[in-house]
Amino acid sequence: MALSQVDAPIYEALRKFRRMRVVPFDVPGHKRGRGNMELTEFLGEDCMNVDVNSMKPLDNLCHPVSVIRDAEDLAAQAFGAANAFFMVGGTTSAVQSMIMYACKEGDKIIMPRNVHRSAINAMILTGAVPVYVDPDVNHQLGIALGMSVSQVEKAIEENPDAKAVLVNNPTYYGVCSDLRRITELAHSHGMLVLADEAHGTHFYFGDGFPVPAMAAGADISSASMHKSGGSLTQSSFLLMGKDINADYMRQIVNLTQTTSASYLLLSSLDISRKRLALSGREIFAKTVEMAQYAREEINSIGGYYAFSSELINGDSIYDFDVSKLSVHTLPIGLAGIEVYDLLRDEYDIQIEFGDIGNILAYVSVGDRTRDIERLISAMSEIKRRFGKSGTGMLTQEYINPVVAEPPRKAFYAKKRSLTLDEAAGNVCTEFVMCYPPGIPILAPGELITPEIIEYIKYAKEKGCQMTGTEDINIERLNVLAED
Amino acid sequence: MELWFTERHTPNVKFSIKVDHQLYSGNSEFQRIDVFDSKEFGRFLTLDGYMMLTEKDEFIYHEMITHVPMAVHPNPKNILVIGAGDGGVVRELTRYSSVENIDLVEIDELVVEVSKQYLPTTACRFDDPRVHVYYEDGVKFIRRCTDQYDVIIVDSTDPFGPGEGLFTKEFYGSCFKALHDDGIMVNQHESPFYAEDAAAMQRSHKRIVESFPISKVYQAHIPTYPSGHWLFGFASKKYHPTADYNGTQWSMLGLKTRYYNPRLHVGAFALPNYVEELLKDVE
């Protein structure tokens, strides 16, 4: 019998398996939780009962032939893809897999510099060489936008040997490039189009959202089901168009993916796909309604600027994801990261991230109207209690990097450690970024400028959580040593 | 046949009232609403199974949450009441001729409708021309108010459920903003007795202390609430609840009360040592 979106093959197989009360003489050693009661009491017996290993009735993610394959087919159908893979190493592993599929050592890939670190990590793993397209910048908000089509065209013409173009769809803030035209351009030059849709899963299921990668004709997409899709943290989808060899992709994925994929993650993907396919439209209509309401209320407080589709400019902001609640905070005299900290410390509200000029509150169907009211009121109170003049705030958020060496070469090169102040003028061999959002300020191979040092110091002082360097305190940077 | 209403006061303690019959049961967008008749406590209202008021002891709660701030403020004219859809606070407030305006903000219209129909002892003054009812989230309503009220009375349900937002710092801060420079906010402050209630009480007190220059707590005995020992918060920008209190002036208003009186007003702020300690822990 043909399966349809009401089915969830992995979930159903697990339920059936649980009823069979099979005696476990295999891993995991907690044996349905009995061997670790404290953990079982904490997570619940139902959870431990389905934390099982791959076996014939439950298929195997590394080589799926039954229920996982069926579930992947249903996911492909739901997303309008030719093939879909369940991923258990986060969208990070999906992004890396699609780059490793497209590029071998020395191959060029065109991408905006405001990519997630996972994309640049893939450069280190594969030895691929990034060709950065400087994203357009909104100087008022201090955020990097999408890539303009003309910039992509220029990069393609200057690098006709590039293998692929990577596009954020959307960026963390909800900004989309013109994915359809970029795809046409890239394809006409024989390049693949890879989409990082870590923040765009909902595009596939809701109305009125920017075009999702598969519909735009892109070749591969990494879609974070665990963000807007409702599945468990670390679970994700890798989506493939018709021209991608899925069997080869499976081999690429298996280079780095675990052979003990968690059935908690797999079943969460399966159930969430079913849920979105059946009722995604209503779910995301409600999400957008809440985000829109919050935006209007926050803008009526004054000072704050909750931005949205009015930013659309036909090119570097070709479209905007209205489910994102991004707010510019500098006019009230507070850095985004300060508002982020105040919301948590003073009002017990945890938001997604704050950077120098903005905050992002993640709105989803799990939110209740009364919680939205709390968020708005807390922001109103922060302005009343802590607001000051917005002059003199550092606005520069995105700094165009100067790439001196390919990431892999710099990462593995002979290096030395310098203090932040000494480091200017040298070539960095490691990442520096605020997490979240995890977009590098410096990536391996990039020139350290005084401007970047100033930025790092300011971000640290304001309380951004910095990561990436070997030195856990981010007081020293590794730089290329002279030969 | 025996029919009993039971509320769980802790995982190990239950409180039951023998029910004569049930008058109403319904679900609003926010909660389940029930009205019962009983021999011992008369008619009573519950929300999501939690006791809100009984005809027999509601006077204690409503007099104490209303007359304490009204007697401290020398000239309360513009009053905001949040919650209180049963009408009890409004009933007490309308007895003051000095009051010019009462805004009542209740999230759940059905509570008011049910109260009007089944609880005539409390929902009896909604037709007073000074009373204006707004059906919206109190957190949202107060966000838009600046320097306009003399007294705010927060008659909330418990800090879990639709009333959750009324126990938050952003709400207390908004109340501060909404009050005149000599304004007073009084709130339902939970109980100090059972551990879970006491923790909620402390959390709420901490947030009020951080929001107002003067923040005191007073008590009353309410038989149908968990442990019977109940607290109210008195937060103020200028007036101290006992030092700035003139009992004679209040007595001259000639309001007849069954629980509240000037001596009790002062005494209610004298708290048991263990309660003082709980409060001090978070101040």
Interval B73-83: pLDDT, tens: 999 999 999 99
Phi, psi of A292 (to 5 degrees): -65, -45
Residue B20, CA atoms < 13 Å, CB-side half-sphere: 11
Cα A93 to Cα A257: distance, rounded to the nearest angstrom = 8
A468: left (phi over 0), alpha (psi -120 to 50) or beta: left
Q: In what order do the strands lie in the sheet with A108-112?
A: A83-87, A236-240, A220-223, A192-197, A164-168, A108-112, A129-133
Rounded to whole angstroms, the Cα distance separating A354 from A335 reads 8
Q: How confident is the model at residue B162 (pLDDT cuts 50, 70, 90)?
A: confident
Judged by a CB distance cut-off of 8 A, whether residue A374 touches chain B is yes
Helix (H) or strand (E) holding B170: helix B169-178
Number of neighbours of residue A254 by Cβ within 10 angstroms: 14
Quote the pLDDT of residue A361. 95
Q: Say whether residue A236 is in contact with chain B using an 8 A CB cutoff.
A: no
Compute the distance between CA of residue B258 and CA of residue B220 in angstroms, rounded to an integer.
13
Query: For the whole model, what pTM was predicted?
Result: 0.89
Closest residue of chain B to A370, computed from CA coordinates: B165
| A242 and chain B in contact, CB less than 8 A | no
Q: Which residues of A touch B143 (CB under 8 A)?
A: 297, 373, 376-377, 380
CA angle B106, B109, B111 (to 5 degrees): 85
In this complex, which of A346, A374, A385 lies closest to B139 when CB atoms are compared? A374
Q: Which of A377, A384, A385 sits opposite B171 (nearest CB)?
A: A377
Residue B142 scores a pLDDT above 90 = yes
Among A297, A369, A377, beta carbon nearest to B170: A377
What is the CB-side half-sphere exposure of residue B233 using CA atoms within 13 A? 32
A377 contacts in chain B (CB < 8 Å)? 139-140, 142-143, 165, 168, 170-171, 173-174
pLDDT reading at B208 higher than 70: yes
The alpha carbon of residue B211 is apart from the nearest alpha carbon of chain A, in Å, by 10
The per-residue pLDDT for A177 is 96
Whether A373 and B174 lie within 8 Å, measured CB to CB: no
Taking the alpha carbons at both ends of chain B, their separation in whole angstroms is: 51
The two three-digit tokens of residue B136, written as one number: 């919206």
- pLDDT at residue A396, rounded to an integer: 61
Q: Does A344 contact chain B (CB < 8 Å)?
A: no
pLDDT of residue B76: 96
Of A370, A384, A385, the CB nearest to B137: A370
Q: How far is A370 from chain B (nearest CA, A)?
A: 7
Q: How far apart are CA A344 and CA A339, in angstroms?
A: 9
CB within 8 Å of A395: residues ≥ 6 apart: A139, A140, A142, A330, A356, A357
State the smallest CA–CA distance between residue B14 and chain A in angstroms: 26
Q: Which residue has the tokens 């919650």?
A: B83
Of B143, B164, B177, the CB nearest to A370: B164
Q: Are B51 and B58 a contacting pair, CB within 8 Å?
A: no
Q: Which chain A residue has the Cα nearest residue B175?
A: A381
Interface confidence (ipTM) of the complex: 0.88
Average pLDDT over residues B130-134: 97
Q: How, if at all, do strands A220-223 and A236-240 pair?
A: antiparallel
Is B137 assigned a catalytic role? Answer: no
A381 touches chain B (CB under 8 A): yes
Rounded CA-CA distance B236/B212 in Å is 6
Side-chain half-sphere of B152: how many Cα atoms within 13 Å? Answer: 34
- Give bridge partners of residue B53 from the DSSP assignment: B45
**A-B contacts at Cβ under 8 angstroms:** 50
Q: Which residue of B has its CA nearest to A380?
A: B143
> Distance between CA atoms of B176 and B181, rounded to whole angstroms?
9
Average pLDDT, chain B: 95
Evaluate if residue B157 carries a pLDDT over 90: no
**Cα–Cα distance for residue pair B154/B138, rounded to 1 Å:** 9
Contacts of A345 in chain B (CB under 8 A): none
pLDDT of residue A395: 66
**Given the residues B34, B57, B103, B155, the one annotated as active site:** B155
Which residues in chain B have their CB less than 8 angstroms from residue A374's CB? 139, 165, 168, 170-171
- For residue A188, which of A169, A160, A150, A149 has the smallest C-alpha distance? A160
Q: With an 8 Å Cβ cutoff, is B170 touching chain A?
A: yes
Cross-chain Cβ contact B168/A348 below 8 Å:
yes
Residue A218 phi, psi dihedral angles, 5° rounding: -65, 160
Interface-testing mutation among B170, B174, B179, with chain A (most A C-beta atoms within 10 A): B170
Q: Which of B82, B143, B176, B203 to mutate to test the interface with A (most CBs of A within 10 A)?
A: B143
Smallest CA–CA distance from A382 into chain B, residue: B170
- Chain B nearest CA to A390, separation (Å): 22
Q: Which residue of B has its CA nearest to A298?
A: B143
Beta strand B50-54 pairing with B42-47: antiparallel
- pLDDT value at residue A47: 95
Low-confidence stretches of chain A (pLDDT < 70) are 1, 395-398, 436, 483
